[in-house]
Amino acid sequence: MFANAEAYERFMGRWSARLARPYLDFVRLPAGSRVLDVGCGTGAIAEVISGTKTPISVVGIDPVEGFVGYCRTRFTDPKYSFERGSALELAYSEATFDAAVSLLVLMLIPDPRKAASEMRRVTKPGGIVSACTWDGAGMEMSAIIWDEALKLDPSVAGKAERPKHCNAKGQLAALWRDVGLEDVEEGMIEMQTNFESFDDYWVPYLAGVGPTGGYVAALPEDRRESLANALRRRLLGDKPDGPISLGAKAWVVRGQVPER
């Protein structure tokens, strides 16, 4: 469901690229940092950094080989490198990086505490460890699909793509303190994303990217059309097809590795 990097970029890229900038503003990476991007996806973090004059190098890891290959093609400057790897078992020695960041990953992985501990382990004393996750009910783009899908078929409740953890006020900050990070700060980013038309919103789901896209793409044609019609009524009502604006909320956290 996440193997097609170009489809994912069309589907989620408009969100992650816009979220990455205010997220990095919150992180406040010092010039000269060597940064580990845990769950780099299609490179939203590297894209924002590449557009600045701040000298920062990035090592991105992701378990999906398609994402790693896509990023290697997209970013050819030697200060960016990308490798296949797991957030739960980082293949680096202690105190390798000046900072470790993670955009839209921790709320979906099975053991966020293990990931946070690994990010702390590979970060130097005094370095920054940070993450950004969707709020539990704050991703309107996907939430309304599952709302309408459940109305049409209550049996799909178990398939709904919802953040599993690290998705409510205080949870990220508590996790950061639990793994021994200091000077912990938590905040929220709110954003809107605009779609030119209903198809601009709907069609990317048909590529089957992610749990929501996988559900939509696997539906029989008649049920998929019923879902599309329900969403069209919800988003447009009696209005003709036109622009749609949907919101999202994300939690951010930042902490420092204690000095030895």
Sign of the Cα torsion 215, 246, 133, 164 reads negative
Contacts 24+ apart (CB under 8 A), 81-89: 82/40, 82/43, 83/59, 85/61, 86/61, 87/38, 87/39, 87/61, 87/63, 87/115, 87/118, 87/119, 88/114, 88/115, 88/118, 89/118
Side-chain half-sphere of 65: how many Cα atoms within 13 Å? 0
β 244-256/123-139 pair status: antiparallel
What pLDDT score does 143 carry? 86
Q: In what order do the strands lie in the sheet with 34-38?
A: 80-84, 57-62, 34-38, 97-103, 123-139, 244-256, 182-195
What pLDDT score does 182 carry? 98
pLDDT tens across the length of the chain (260 residues):
445 555 565 556 667 778 999 999 999 999 999 999 999 988 999 999 998 888 899 999 999 898 999 999 999 999 999 999 999 999 999 999 999 999 999 988 889 999 999 999 999 999 999 999 988 776 788 889 999 999 999 888 766 655 568 889 999 999 999 999 999 999 999 988 889 999 999 988 888 877 788 889 999 999 999 999 999 999 999 999 999 999 889 999 999 999 97
What is the helix (H) or strand (E) element at residue 227, kind and residue range?
helix 221-236
> What are the structural domains of the chain?
5-139+162-195+248-256 (3.40.50.150)
Side-chain half-sphere of 198: how many Cα atoms within 13 Å? 15
**What is the pTM (predicted TM-score) of this model?**
0.86
One-letter-per-residue 3-state SS of 86-128? ECCECCCCCCCEEEEEEECCCCCCCCHHHHHHHHHHCEEEEEE
